[in-house]
Amino acid sequence: MAANKNSAMDVPNHRRARMPRRLIALFGLAALIALAIWLAFALLRPMPTQTLVMAVYPEGSLNADVAERYREVLSRKGFDLKLVPSAGAVESVARLRDPKSGTSIALIPGGITTEQGSPELVSLGTLYYQPLWVFSRGTLPQRHESLRGLRVSIGPDGSSSRALSLELLGRARLIDPKSATLLALTPAESAQALLRGEIDVAIFLDGWESPAVQQLLKTKDINLESTPRADAFVRIYPYLNKLVLPAGVVDMAEPRPPTDVILIAPKASLIVRNDLHPAIQYLLLEAAVEIHSTPSMFRTAGQFPAPESIDLPLSPYAREFYKSGSPFLQRHLPFRLVVFLEQPVLLLLPLLVILFPLFRLAPEIYAWIERSRVNRLYSELKRLEDEMSFAAPGTSPKNFIERLDRLEERAIRLSVPTAFKPLIYGLRLHIDMVRTDAQKSILP
């Protein structure tokens, strides 16, 4: 009767003993799921906005014309590219760095910023050369020497033309800020002022296709000056390139220019904020291929866009684009559908990364847990056997046998899956063997 009562009391005790294991397993699983969900939301990106903002130089520059082409290409994809006027590359970089400005895209020539100065920005590659043009009215009185006492336009404050003119031509002492009158005119304004005789020299940074460049190249009495010591400039400033405008390329009959003209030129890069949605970065890269891959005066077919990081690091998405093109889904599905499908993938990926190894190891973990339950009883059996081996001769085996009986009852009540039943049968067999040894060895 007492034995049955003890057995009845052991059952709830045994169940209570299993509760902590279940709670630990549940808490562990809940913690893993919570971690996976946190990672998913940390990686999950919001849907990209339909309106993008691009900083653009004033009208009459190649930069403005190229920006219009980007707007046309993106409009076919359902995006509204808002073009915000800027004084130039210096101001555009400042806007890109300011997250409150809303500006996320700009065309920036080399030499304007650095990775340390603009850690928020990345490059999508180079697009075209932007030579530093030096146009003069008539023949300069002091050719290739400092422009003393002349009216010189070097671009507005905040423009790449002004920054590079002062840095490059000032270092070579071609510009004397003390004696020359430096004017802040845009390329288009400089061209008109030079044609009207209101200034003596126009210096600005712009592409070959620029309307201002083409107008001045074709006008008589306007000369294009070669940059002296161009090789030295290129060696000192790694972002510069040496270009040659061949004699007669504008007009072979006259010819214009009468001799080869040496120019120095940075490359313009497509710069974006590093938090710009990857899908939009791929769209911009596709647009860049459409706009800039054709040949021109200073580029061959397919030369641009190019995976070059001049001042800023190349975006990882741009790096993948130049290797293998746009992602498969983006090439074959509408843009909004692609972005929509990416969200579940980003949500499930962290879950799979965490749960796949867990599911793979689950059978082994489960088997280890079940075996450990039986092994704990084996450990108790081993302790009993050790106690009996050190018992004095003549000791009554009654206490040991009762403890062995209770251990066997626990083994009988231990619920394990069928695959682990042999462990229980083996344990009971070993208990019986120890019981027999106890009766033989302890009795006098």
Using one digit for the tens of pLDDT, what is the confidence trace for 166-179?
888 877 777 777 77
Reduce the DSSP state of residue 144 to 3 states and report it.
coil
The residue-averaged pLDDT of 31-45 equals 58
State the sign of the Cα–Cα–Cα–Cα dihedral 123, 125, 128, 129: positive
Q: Measuring CA to CA, how many Å separate 322 from each of 126, 161, 279, 439? A: 12, 30, 15, 83
> Which has the minimum average pLDDT: 39-48, 108-117, 185-194, 393-402?
39-48
Contact 38, 31 (CB under 8 A): no
- Identify each DSSP E strand in 94-170 by its residue range: 105-109, 121-129, 132-137, 151-153
User: What confidence score (pLDDT) does residue 34 get?
Assistant: 65
> Which has the minimum average pLDDT: 11-20, 57-66, 185-194?
11-20
Does residue 194 have a pLDDT over 90?
Answer: yes
- Identify each DSSP E strand in 197-281 by its residue range: 201-205, 222-224, 240-245, 261-273
Confidence of residue 85 (pLDDT cuts 50, 70, 90): very high
Query: Rounded to two decimals, what is the model's pTM?
Result: 0.68
Q: Which helix (H) or strand (E) holds 23?
A: helix 2-43
How does pLDDT run across 248-265, given as a tens digit for each residue?
999 999 899 999 999 999
Spatial separation of the C-alpha atoms in residues 325 and 319, rounded to whole Å: 9
Q: Measuring CA to CA, how many Å separate 231 from each of 58, 81, 90, 131, 263? A: 31, 39, 25, 14, 10
User: For residues 209-220, b (16+ Cβ closer than 10 Å) or e, as one string?
Assistant: ebbbbebbbeee
Does residue 144 have a pLDDT over 50?
Answer: no
Confidence of residue 14 (pLDDT cuts 50, 70, 90): very low
User: What confidence score (pLDDT) does residue 225 get?
Assistant: 92
Q: Which residue has the higher pLDDT, 368 or 347?
A: 368
Spatial separation of the C-alpha atoms in residues 45 and 42, rounded to whole Å: 8
As a whole-number percent, the residues of the chain with pLDDT over 90 amount to: 49
Spatial separation of the C-alpha atoms in residues 119 and 313, rounded to whole Å: 9
User: What confidence score (pLDDT) does residue 252 get?
Assistant: 93
Query: Comparing C-alpha atoms, which of 411, 435, 406 is closest to residue 423?
Result: 411
Does residue 40 have a pLDDT over 60?
Answer: no
User: What confidence score (pLDDT) does residue 308 get?
Assistant: 94
Confidence of residue 331 (pLDDT cuts 50, 70, 90): low
User: What confidence score (pLDDT) does residue 74 get?
Assistant: 93
Contact 258, 250 (CB under 8 A): no
- State the chain's mean pLDDT as an integer: 83
Reduce the DSSP state of residue 49 to 3 states and report it.
coil
